[in-house]
């Protein structure tokens, strides 16, 4: 069995080769799009991260591929329908960062609630230790609305409870056993938006969650609420978020992810001067700059997953996915 492994970081190479000893592994640095001329009829397994888009064009280059092992929980960078047509199994890493991402969501929330960035910048830039303009608010007693009650959402609920918050949850798949154990209340999305002082997004991105928070329901959000997103950028419609900020519906936002973040990390001129400009994409990129410059918004570079422990869990689980596939018993298969 031959594996093509597209590195996220250089240190992974030695680690992966050691763990997959005896397997034919060819390693490339960077995402699959960096190798447009790469073709291989012998490859059976692709291992990629979220920066690698795998669609029909990529699958055509590896006609014998049988497994795509993504080193992520999310899988919107893979064309699942195309993979299914070709009989290709897709596996992911469902719970590597359950506590990791939830912790980061609270880091963003605490940064907003206690004005930590402003406090730091004031001392660093002016040397002033005045507390004027730096008053924050307690989390205790506030209502935390958790959108998505998967592995990460559960950890967010536990943390919210630890801060003494009231917790409500919106999820189309309700788990009564978890609800009873953790002591929260399931509500509709509209009720969550209307009742929450803080809304934190932990839902997967798919056709059902695209622009889950949008121009039609932004007005339903409790006035003065804070919004945290460590899931996927396109779950929140950017224009709706901007309107919410301008109209005072949303008091502040902590965003680890934004729409069109792939363009933001790359060369924006390609979007602007390309042969066929993507008008909607361009509008979103410009809107993202508004968010980045907004004094009540924290935009950070999709970093919630990024801890030493989580990264090793990602690779270890991916290696187990590859080994279990080799043994004829695929694990963590995306249905």
For 193-209, how does the pLDDT look when each residue is reduced to its tens digit (9 = 90+)?
999 999 999 999 889 99
Catalytic residue among 71, 155, 302, 313: 302
The position carrying tokens 């602007």 is 272
- Confidence category of residue 259, pLDDT binned at 50, 70, 90: confident
Higher pLDDT pick, 330 / 262 = 330
Q: Is pLDDT above 60 for 44?
A: yes
Q: Is pLDDT above 50 for 100?
A: yes
Residue 144 CB neighbours (<10 A): 27
Burial class of 65 by CB neighbour count within 10 A (0 to 12, 13 to 18, 19+): buried
Query: Domains along the chain?
Result: 2-96+308-326 (3.40.50.720), 98-299 (3.40.50.720)
Region 170-176: mean pLDDT is: 96
86 is catalytic: no
Q: Is pLDDT above 50 for 149?
A: yes
Averaged pLDDT of the chain = 91
Is the entire prediction scored with pTM above 0.75? yes
261 is catalytic: yes
Measured between alpha carbons, how far is 272 from 7 in angstroms, rounded to an integer? 29
The alpha carbon dihedral of 121, 125, 130, 132 has a sign of: negative
Catalytic residue among 232, 237, 239, 260: 232
């Amino acid at each position: 069995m031959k594996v093509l492994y597209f590195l996220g970081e250089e240190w992974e190479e030695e680690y992966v080769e050691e763990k997959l000893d005896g397997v034919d592994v060819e390693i490339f640095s960077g995402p699959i799009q960096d190798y447009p001329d790469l073709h291989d009829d012998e490859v059976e397994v692709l291992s990629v991260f979220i920066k690698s888009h795998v669609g029909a064009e990529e699958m055509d280059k590896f006609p014998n591929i049988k497994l795509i092992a993504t080193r992520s929980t999310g899988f919107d960078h893979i064309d699942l329908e195309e993979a299914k047509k070709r009989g290709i199994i897709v596996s992911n890493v469902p719970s590597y960062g359950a506590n990791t991402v939830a912790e980061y969501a609270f880091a963003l929330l605490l940064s907003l609630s206690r004005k930590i960035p402003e406090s730091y910048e004031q001392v660093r830039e002016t040397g002033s230790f005045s507390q004027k303009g730096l008053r924050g608010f307690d989390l205790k007693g506030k209502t935390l609305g958790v959108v998505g009650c998967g592995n990460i959402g559960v950890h967010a609920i536990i943390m919210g409870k630890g801060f003494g918050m009231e917790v409500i949850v919106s999820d189309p798949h309700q788990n009564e056993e978890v609800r009873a154990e953790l002591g929260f209340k399931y509500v509709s999305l509209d009720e969550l938006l209307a009742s929450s002082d803080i809304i934190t997004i932990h839902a997967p991105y798919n056709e059902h969650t695209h622009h889950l928070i949008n121009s039609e329901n932004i007005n339903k959000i409790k006035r003065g609420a804070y919004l945290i997103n460590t899931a996927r950028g396109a779950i929140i419609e950017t224009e709706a978020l901007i309107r919410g900020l301008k109209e005072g519906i949303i008091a502040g936002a902590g965003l680890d992810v934004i729409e069109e973040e792939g363009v933001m990390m790359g060369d924006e001129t390609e979007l602007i001067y390309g042969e066929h400009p993507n008008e909607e994409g361009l509008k979103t990129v410009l809107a993202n700059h508004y968010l980045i410059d907004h004094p009540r918004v924290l935009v950070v570079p999709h970093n919630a997953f990024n801890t030493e422990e989580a990264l090793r869990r990602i690779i270890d689980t991916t290696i187990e996915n590859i080994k279990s596939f080799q043994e004829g018993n695929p694990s963590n298969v995306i249905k």
